[in-house]
């Protein structure tokens, strides 16, 4: 597997460490419509970055560019020094780019345990093993139990997904992402569409995610954004408008103007 | 049996309990002794089961739609005939393994094209591959024997001891032993981490890709394993009949095997057993009553299954077993 490095974009950040994710000048147009305009940003190890912006600002486009659903017209992105854009979507995952989906995308006829097992056994290289029962791979199973613990799903491990309430399905979604030991985790509206009481559990779990993972959160719920993020990146019309701490963003007149809807 | 609190119980039980093997294969032994004049019918059932297992493996467990399984079994069938006729290789067991390998290679190579695209594309592509092979066999009749079949297939004694006889005694026992080995091997695979991965592919291939699974490559491997089993089914038919014609590539072979799995139940290896028995008995009974119309009764059965037994006959048995507390959770 290639480990091509693109050195110029991996500039050291303030604390001397190279950013785990470095995005430079990503551009994408659909005909005359420019959906990504020179998007550049760095993400340090363990960072908590929220991605906000009005509908159609290009949040999902940016996620899709990073995960490989879309191909940019120009620009570069490196993950841990590797050229992300040269990798296929599944290679990007293996390189350490995890994501959750806005709409849960799980293995519905399988148990919670099996859902996480699929992901863990893929990471641990067990999923091509044909000749032993799955439950005899105690190393994989122990790791699955550990992840179920983190996302507080141990009590329903043997239940099929289709029997779970929606809020807990979102936790499985989160568990799947964690199972891959990502360096960078893209959380796409983790609490969308969940009843308030269940959303609390999801938020608490998000708050307690391991410190070494850099997280990009895409979220409309501003309470969650301001509680979670150490920095916020504001996207407008496919371009980066501002980046700053929650306090700076909250005080920014331009951001206020856009969110109050006086633009256009 | 599957307690939710054991590690085993955290996995869906995709297979019947192990003891089910005993009555099934005892039934085969009983059949051998009681129905000695109908062993060819028994061989047909066993052959159908193996072919149906190959479809259940790829479709029921991994979600690969196929209406062209005859391409894979047919390739194995011809190889099992070519070996003794053109290469003087008449030893049955190695011949059968080569037939399986040819089925696997055929699946892998055609799968590179056929498995691209969505569900219907795959379905159409598998039909096309089988149709192309059918015409191939037709075009090269001097090699394949065409409709009239390949002449001069003479298979050695099994283990140098048991000659394939006219009554099908050796053929039947040989077929049941092959079925047993295939059945156990598939049982092991569907319960392995690979088997869990296969069900993941069936449930949500898009998500599998997002988990870092090389989906297309895995589907190719699964299709090739299914091709191996199909090739064995084809090779077995050639060896036990000592005959093969281009009919092995015919569309109805694929369609029949698929029908068998749907009647029996997808995603449960026992579905192939139940479906094959029902199919062959239906064919036997109703074709005697009204040879032209027996497909009507089969169609009626399919409609009934679709209406009342979603998941095939095996799902009815599951429900009954669950009621008396025998089985664990259902697969789907």
Q: Is A157 on the interface with B (CB under 8 A)?
A: yes
Size of interface A-B (CB pairs under 8 A): 124
In this predicted structure, what is the pLDDT of residue B118?
77
Distance (Å, whole) CA A192 – CA A104 = 10
In this predicted structure, what is the pLDDT of residue A4?
44
Q: Chain B: nearest CA to A63, how far in angstroms?
A: 13
Average pLDDT, chain A: 86
In this predicted structure, what is the pLDDT of residue A100?
85
In this predicted structure, what is the pLDDT of residue A210?
86
Strand, helix or coil for residue A160 = strand
Residues of chain A found within 8 Å of residue B213, distances taken between Cβ atoms? 90, 122, 127
Kindly indicate the confidence band of residue B325, based on its pLDDT and cuts at 50, 70 and 90: low
**Interface-testing mutation among B184, B187, B196, with chain A (most A C-beta atoms within 10 A):** B196
Q: Chain B: nearest CA to A184, how far in angstroms?
A: 14
Residue of B87, B233, B57 lying closest to A130 (CA atoms)? B57
Kindly indicate the confidence band of residue A204, based on its pLDDT and cuts at 50, 70 and 90: confident
Residue of B228, B175, B151 lying closest to B42 (CA atoms)? B175
Strand, helix or coil for residue B328 = coil
In this predicted structure, what is the pLDDT of residue A261?
59
Whole-structure pTM over 0.90, yes or no? Answer: no
Residues 174-193, chain B: which have Cβ within 8 Å of A? 188-189, 191-193
Helix (H) or strand (E) holding A50: strand A48-52
Q: Which has more confidence, B320 or B93? A: B93
**Interface-testing mutation among A87, A158, A174, A175, with chain B (most B C-beta atoms within 10 A):** A158
Kindly indicate the confidence band of residue A26, based on its pLDDT and cuts at 50, 70 and 90: very high
**CATH label, A102-183+194-212, candidates 3.40.50.12280, 3.40.50.2300, 3.40.50.300, 3.40.710.10:** 3.40.50.300
What is the chain B residue with the closest CA to A128? B194
Kindly indicate the confidence band of residue A119, based on its pLDDT and cuts at 50, 70 and 90: very high
Residues of chain B found within 8 Å of residue A99, distances taken between Cβ atoms? 210
Nearest to B11 among A108, A114, A180 (CB): A114
Give the CA dihedral B130, B135, B138, B143, nearest 10 degrees. -70
In this predicted structure, what is the pLDDT of residue A2?
43
- For residue A171, pLDDT over 80 is answered with yes
- For residue B4, pLDDT over 60 is answered with no
Portion of chain B with pLDDT greater than 70, in percent: 96
Q: What are phi and psi of A74, to 5 degrees?
A: -155, 170
Distance (Å, whole) CA B155 – CA A7 = 66
Q: Indicate the range of A2-11, B32-41, B99-108 predicted with least confidence.
A: A2-11
Residues 19-38, chain A: which have Cβ within 8 Å of B? none
Q: pLDDT tens-digit profile of B261-283?
A: 999 999 889 999 999 999 988 88
Residue of A77, A105, A109 lying closest to A92 (CA atoms)? A77
On the 0-12 / 13-18 / 19+ scale of CB atoms within 10 A, B296 is exposed
Q: pLDDT tens-digit profile of B124-173?
A: 999 999 999 999 999 999 888 888 889 888 888 888 888 888 888 999 99
What is the chain A residue with the closest CA to B195? A130
Kindly indicate the confidence band of residue A18, based on its pLDDT and cuts at 50, 70 and 90: confident
Q: Is B325 on the interface with A (CB under 8 A)?
A: no
Q: pLDDT tens-digit profile of B159-207?
A: 888 888 888 899 999 999 999 999 999 999 999 999 999 999 999 998 8
Sheet holding A214-218, edge to edge: A97-99, A184-188, A214-218, A48-52, A231-236, A239-244
Mean pLDDT on A37-61: 91
Q: Is A105 on the interface with B (CB under 8 A)?
A: yes
CB contact under 8 A, B197 and A111: no
What is the chain A residue with the closest CA to B214? A90
Q: Chain B: nearest CA to A114, how far in angstroms?
A: 6
- For residue A16, pLDDT over 60 is answered with no
Q: pLDDT tens-digit profile of B66-123?
A: 898 999 999 999 999 999 999 999 999 999 999 999 999 999 999 998 898 778 888 9
Q: Chain B: nearest CA to A16, how far in angstroms?
A: 31
């Amino acid at each position: 597997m290639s480990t091509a490095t693109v050195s110029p974009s991996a500039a050291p950040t303030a604390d001397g460490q190279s950013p785990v994710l470095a995005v430079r000048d990503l551009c994408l147009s659909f005909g005359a419509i420019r959906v990504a305009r020179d998007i550049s940003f760095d993400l340090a190890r363990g960072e908590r970055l929220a991605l906000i912006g009005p509908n159609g600002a290009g949040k999902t486009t940016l996620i899709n560019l990073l995960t490989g659903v879309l191909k940019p017209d120009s620009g570069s992105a490196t993950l841990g020094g590797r050229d992300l854009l040269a990798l296929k979507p599944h290679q990007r995952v293996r390189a350490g780019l995890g994501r959750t989906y806005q709409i849960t995308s799980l293995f519905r006829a399988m148990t919670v345990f099996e859902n996480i097992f699929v992901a863990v056994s893929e990471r641990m290289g067990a999923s091509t093993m044909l000749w032993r029962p799955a439950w005899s791979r105690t190393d994989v199973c122990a790791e699955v139990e550990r992840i179920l613990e983190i996302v507080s799903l141990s009590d329903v491990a043997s239940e099929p997904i289709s029997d779970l309430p929606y809020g807990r399905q979102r936790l499985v979604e989160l568990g799947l992402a964690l199972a891959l030991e990502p360096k960078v985790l893209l959380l796409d509206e983790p609490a969308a569409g969940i009843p308030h009481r269940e959303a609390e559990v999801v938020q608490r779990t998000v708050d307690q995610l391991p410190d070494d993972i850099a997280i990009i959160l895409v979220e409309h719920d501003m309470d969650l954004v301001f509680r979670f993020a150490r920095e916020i990146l504001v996207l407008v019309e496919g371009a980066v408008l501002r980046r700053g701490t929650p306090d700076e963003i909250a005080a920014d007149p331009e951001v206020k103007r856009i969110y109050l809807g006086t633009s256009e | 049996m599957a307690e939710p609190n054991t590690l085993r119980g955290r996995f869906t039980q995709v297979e019947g309990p192990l003891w089910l093997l005993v009555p099934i294969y005892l039934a085969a032994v009983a059949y051998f002794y009681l129905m000695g004049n109908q062993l060819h019918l028994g061989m047909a059932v066993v052959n159908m089961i193996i072919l149906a297992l190959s479809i259940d493996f790829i479709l029921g467990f991994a979600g690969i739609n196929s209406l062209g399984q005859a391409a894979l079994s047919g390739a194995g069938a011809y190889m099992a005939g070519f070996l003794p006729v053109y290469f003087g290789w008449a030893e049955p067991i190695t011949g059968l393994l080569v037939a399986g390998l040819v089925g696997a290679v055929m699946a892998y190579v055609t799968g590179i094209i056929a498995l691209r695209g969505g569900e219907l594309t795959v379905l159409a592509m598998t039909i096309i591959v089988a149709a192309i092979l059918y015409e191939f066999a037709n075009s090269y009749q001097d090699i394949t024997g065409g409709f009239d079949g390949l002449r001069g297939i003479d298979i050695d004694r099994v283990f140098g001891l048991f000659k394939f006889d006219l009554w099908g005694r050796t053929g039947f026992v040989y077929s049941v032993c092959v079925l047993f080995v295939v059945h156990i091997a598939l049982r092991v695979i569907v319960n392995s981490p690979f088997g869990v991965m296969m069900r993941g592919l069936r449930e949500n291939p898009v998500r599998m890709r997002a988990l870092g699974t090389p989906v297309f490559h895995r589907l190719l491997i699964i299709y090739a394993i299914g091709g191996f089993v199909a090739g064995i089914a084809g090779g077995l038919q050639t060896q036990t009949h000592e005959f093969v014609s281009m009919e092995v590539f015919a569309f109805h072979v694929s369609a029949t095997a698929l029908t068998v799995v749907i009647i029996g139940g997808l995603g449960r290896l026992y579905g192939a057993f139940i479906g094959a028995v029902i199919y062959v008995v239906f064919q036997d009974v109703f074709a005697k009553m009204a040879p032209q119309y027996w497909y009507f009764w089969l169609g009626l059965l399919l409609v009934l299954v679709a209406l009342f037994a979603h998941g095939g006959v095996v799902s009815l048995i599951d429900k009954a077993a669950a009621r008396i507390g025998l089985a664990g959770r259902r697969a789907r």
